[in-house]
Structure 1
Amino acid sequence: MHRTVIAGAAGLVSLALVGIFALDAGPTRGGAEAASSETYRQLNLFGDVFERVRADYVEEPADADLIDNAINGMLTSLDPHSSYLNPKTFRDMQVQTRGEFGGLGIEVTMEEGFVKVVAPIDDTPADKAGLRANDLITHLDGDPVLGLTLSAAVEKMRGPVNAPITVTIVRQGRNEAFDVTVVRDIIRIKSVRYKRDEGVGYIRVTTFNEQTSDGVRAALREMSDMPGFVVDLRNNPGGLLDQAIEVSDIFLEKGEVVSTRGRYPEDTQRYNSRPGDLANGKQVVVLVNGGSASASEIVAGALQDHERALVLGTRSFGKGSVQTIIPLGSDGAIRLTTARYYTPAGRSIQAKGITPDIKVEQNVPEDEDIRTTGEAGLAGHLAAEDEDEKGGSSAYVPRDAKDDLQLIYARDLILGKRTYDPANPTPTADASAAAGAGSEGGAAMAPIPN
């Protein structure tokens, strides 16, 4: 079986899933170069170290833990998205893509040894407790995160429903770390929400799971009388590749949606849309920001390249690599970066992101400046092919829609109150004041507690 999952930004695991994955049960590539004698010598060295640790470490270690951590260390040294999934983590990941699982409701990655929040999922315990994109989690119930693998940290955050956990947060704009208590719950992800909003159809896509394309189709059916649609992908960290393709296909009549290219020419795969624009050619505006990653970027890039939608907001995260999930005989799996993905125009998003057609920044309160570093800011990330890398952007979205300048601007475009001039994609000073150009500056971050 070979299935691609695009989850979000940064090796995202989680209390939610993230990245572009392909499930592959096939054999090792026959054309791979044979291991050299030096390679086997190094493997003998590993065996020597393993035996020395087993024999002489101050306490008797568990063999399985030593091997699991050695495998994970090998994979995580490649890039932030490759990792080892032990049997329980692999099972949990499969449950997450179906849209229901237990935990806090956050997409996370690891940065400099700490757990970093990529985005809280709408209406989950983490969201309700006030966790934000870019928060660093330094302690869990008073125990330091430093030294844990991402999977181990995620496991500590899971627990019985209604059981509280105290997470210690370092946040930009706060001088000191602080504690937040989150009560665990079953996370049921409703990936699509929609409503009639000030005369336009508003479709919020929070993640790409098995329910997403059906949800978008339902939204278009229910709001077929609307003159156009805002598709909100802000702080959507990704999900399943086939769902990103299907959502793109919903709005396209023909043409390529995305391609993936790996180490070998025969690895190239192209995914095309089928005839039938379910939005009937009505205007579409896609909202993105610094928390929009992977599957979100595929949809935004496809609709942008085909000039089917205007992309509005700030530059997306820049997660443009494909991870293949390869099941192992032990019931675990490895998540291995195997390809980059490209938009229909041949653009690689890796460490670059999607640049919006219309850049509109929010008016961000000083104590809520949420600015992602983007893929280009992750240590050990897969480099952009042309070395022209771009960092992240603001991930702030106001909770009150009347303050949401990006949404207001998008609605105005659909209703004809504003027009788009490709020669002047950045709003004028007057438009920025009305639709909201915020500060580019970032806030200071509190010191990491011991």
Structure 2
Amino acid sequence: MIRRATLLLAGVVIGASATGFLVSSDIPARAASDDSTYREMSLFGDVFERVRSQYVTPPDEEKMIQDAINGMLKGLDPHSSYMTAEESMEMRDESKGEFGGLGIEVTMEDEAVKVVAPIDDTPASEAGVLAGDKIIEIDGESVRGMTLNDAVDRMRGEVGEPIDITILRDGVTKPIEMTIKRGIIQVQSVKWRVENDDIGYIRLTTFMNEKLDESLEEAIKEIQAQVPEDKLKGYVLDLRLNPGGFLNQAVSVSDTFLDEGEVVSTRGRDERETRRFSAGPGDLTNGKPIVVLVNGGSASASEIVAGALHDLKRATLVGTRTFGKGSVQTIVPLGDQGSLRLTTALYYTPSGTSIQGTGIEPDIIVEQKLPEDLEGLIRPEGESALRGHIEGDQETDEGSGSVAYVPREPEDDVQLQYAIGLLEGTEKNDAFPADPRKAVEELQAKAHDQQAAKQPEKAMEDAN
């Protein structure tokens, strides 16, 4: 099975609290403002009946309805979709950290299955699948005309069975054909080690794991057990190539490194439904300096963590601009008919900044050089390049995203080595170390500026 929950920042229903999966009882009904909506629905019913009764061969009525729903949602944005009951169950299974498949995060673009990121140590990663690759054929069948769910269904199969995929890759003139054996994907969401005997390195690979915060806490304890407090110089938190996941895990991870402060807020169509999530006392790293690594593969929940630690001056961000997915998807159960994944809000960092379509620019920009065999093959990727994406209120022509690549060998990892240099003192920059005491002043000043900017608009509304 392929992970469909690409760039899913689950909120409101999934991951809106520490309880994990919450259940929405139903979909609120809303009366149509005029008769036109009812006429259009009647038209749909007429077309459905005509196809059902007169099409050249008896159609699959259930599939017709699912395709109609997917077509409606596809016109909204790239992250809204319908999931069957089976797909909804698979998504819940994935959150437990083990599933079968190739090990790739995917979305749909230009009628191709686009790889957002291969998951570490999976069949896809080992086969050489890269972020940005577009799968155009599965076992010899074109994906053109398929929904994302259709394509994913075709990539499912028994563990050990081979699958043939054909890929288009920027910079390569001919399609690339691969045969990959499906496997059991055990997602190790937290990886850690000690660098130079005095720096804790922690990499988070996904936020699609209900127990991510527990694993992170265990990693910190293991590092502290290996390195005495007086010798531990700080931590590197690596969020590169992490495409996101559950909102509650993003909040919990941020809280791990914070003593106080707002982590994130979500704002939907109704301003009265704004929700705020804050950190409680208890920084498990005891205030040690932190460097957060980000790149174009850092999306959604990763950006929440990066944005919170950045705005609250708890960490220094190093790397390149993040993906820029600042939207929240609510999972609405539809009984035994599956579930609806619907974009219902945008999220905002503690400074009140929406990163939708813009991403987060690091404090210190460090470009990762590509190896010669990949030069020109991996291009900058971001939310702003997705067709039909919601345009962010601070989006510019510059767009979001950057190259999403991390070398396998630490010694070749320029961004990691720079972060280690900051903590060791061999690299100097005014942005390091971050000073949480300055955060309050800056956030208050920004809030004042934002309020002042709204005053002319308010005066004009009053005048009207």
- TM-score after normalising by structure 1: 0.88
The structure 1 residue matched to 2:390, chosen from 382, 386, 408, is 382
The answer for the alignment partner of 1:440 in structure 2 is none
1:108 aligned counterpart, secondary structure:
strand
The answer for the alignment partner of 1:441 in structure 2 is none
Alignment partners' CA distance in 2, 1:172 and 1:88: 34
The answer for the alignment partner of 1:433 in structure 2 is none
Q: Greater relative contact order (Cα 8 A, min sep 6): structure 1 or 2?
A: 1
Q: Structure 1 residues 220 and 292, CA, compared in 2 at 3 Å: closer, same or farther? A: same
The structure 2 residue matched to 1:233, chosen from 239, 248, 252, is 239
- What RMSD in Å do the two structures reach over aligned CA positions? 1.7
1:247 aligned counterpart, secondary structure:
helix
The answer for the alignment partner of 1:398 in structure 2 is 407
Which amino acid letter does the alignment assign opposite residue 222 of structure 1? E
Contact 1:15 1:103 in 2 (8 A): no
The answer for the alignment partner of 1:19 in structure 2 is 8
How far is the alpha carbon of 1:211 from its aligned partner? 2.1
Alignment partners' CA distance in 2, 1:408 and 1:354: 21
How far is the alpha carbon of 1:391 from its aligned partner? 3.0
The answer for the alignment partner of 2:262 in structure 1 is 256
Do residues 341 (structure 1) and 347 (structure 2) align?
yes
Contact 2:6 2:116 in 1 (8 A): no
Q: Deviations over 1:217-264 (max 9, x none)?
A: 111111123311111110000011111100000000101000000000
* Equivalent residues in 2 for 1:175-324, closer than 5 Å: 175-198=173-196, 199-208=198-207, 209-224=209-224, 225=227, 226-324=232-330
Structure with the higher fraction of residues in helix conformation = 2
1:336 aligned counterpart, secondary structure:
strand
* Equivalent residues in 2 for 1:38-53, closer than 5 Å: 38-53=36-51
Which amino acid letter does the alignment assign opposite residue 73 of structure 2? L
Alignment partners' CA distance in 2, 1:26 and 1:33: 19
Q: Deviations over 1:403-434 (max 9, x none)?
A: 100000000001111122249x9xxxxxxxxx
Alignment partners' CA distance in 1, 2:162 and 2:303: 34
Do residues 370 (structure 1) and 362 (structure 2) align?
no
Alignment partners' CA distance in 1, 2:67 and 2:154: 17
Which amino acid letter does the alignment assign opposite residue 392 of structure 2? A
The answer for the alignment partner of 2:100 in structure 1 is 102
Which amino acid letter does the alignment assign opposite residue 217 of structure 1? E
Alignment partners' CA distance in 2, 1:363 and 1:251: 30
Contact 1:97 1:239 in 2 (8 A): no
How far is the alpha carbon of 1:141 from its aligned partner? 1.0
Contact 2:381 2:403 in 1 (8 A): no
Alignment partners' CA distance in 2, 1:43 and 1:200: 61
Residue range with higher mean Cα deviation, 298-307 or 34-43: 34-43
Alignment partners' CA distance in 2, 1:106 and 1:296: 17
Contact 1:106 1:119 in 2 (8 A): yes
Do residues 36 (structure 1) and 27 (structure 2) align?
no
Contact 2:115 2:134 in 1 (8 A): yes
The ranges of structure 1 where at least 4 consecutive aligned residues each deviate by more than 4 angstroms after the TM superposition are: none
Do residues 408 (structure 1) and 417 (structure 2) align?
yes
What is the percentage of aligned positions where both structures have the same residue? 53
Which amino acid letter does the alignment assign opposite residue 405 of structure 1? V
Contact 1:134 1:370 in 2 (8 A): yes
Contact 1:173 1:366 in 2 (8 A): no
1:330 aligned counterpart, secondary structure:
helix
1:402 aligned counterpart, secondary structure:
helix
Which amino acid letter does the alignment assign opposite residue 263 of structure 1? R
1:216 aligned counterpart, secondary structure:
helix
Which amino acid letter does the alignment assign opposite residue 223 of structure 2? M
Alignment partners' CA distance in 1, 2:264 and 2:59: 46
Alignment partners' CA distance in 2, 1:354 and 1:112: 26
- What is the number of equivalent residue pairs in this alignment? 411
Kindly name which structure, 1 or 2, has the bigger radius of gyration based on alpha carbons. 2
Alignment partners' CA distance in 1, 2:336 and 2:358: 37
2:293 aligned counterpart, secondary structure:
strand
How far is the alpha carbon of 1:25 from its aligned partner? 1.2
2:252 aligned counterpart, secondary structure:
helix
The answer for the alignment partner of 1:5 in structure 2 is none
Structure with the higher fraction of residues in strand conformation = 1
Contact 1:192 1:215 in 2 (8 A): yes
Alignment partners' CA distance in 2, 1:203 and 1:210: 18
Do residues 327 (structure 1) and 333 (structure 2) align?
yes
Residue range with higher mean Cα deviation, 387-396 or 169-178: 387-396
The structure 1 residue matched to 2:55, chosen from 39, 42, 57, is 57
Contact 1:19 1:319 in 2 (8 A): no
Contact 1:16 1:96 in 2 (8 A): no
Contact 2:77 2:388 in 1 (8 A): yes
- TM-score after normalising by structure 2: 0.86
Q: Deviations over 1:4-60 (max 9, x none)?
A: xxxxxxxxx725653112335134446x45342110000000011111111222211
The answer for the alignment partner of 1:89 in structure 2 is 87
2:108 aligned counterpart, secondary structure:
strand
How far is the alpha carbon of 1:287 from its aligned partner? 0.6
Alignment partners' CA distance in 2, 1:155 and 1:26: 28
Contact 2:356 2:395 in 1 (8 A): no
Alignment partners' CA distance in 2, 1:126 and 1:360: 27
Unaligned runs of 5+ in 1: 1-12, 426-450
How far is the alpha carbon of 1:392 from its aligned partner? 2.0
1:21 aligned counterpart, secondary structure:
coil
Q: Deviations over 1:332-388 (max 9, x none)?
A: 011000000000010101011111111001111343142243000000001111342
Q: Deviations over 1:51-71 (max 9, x none)?
A: 111122221101101111101
The answer for the alignment partner of 2:131 in structure 1 is 133
Alignment partners' CA distance in 2, 1:255 and 1:342: 14
Contact 1:236 1:296 in 2 (8 A): yes
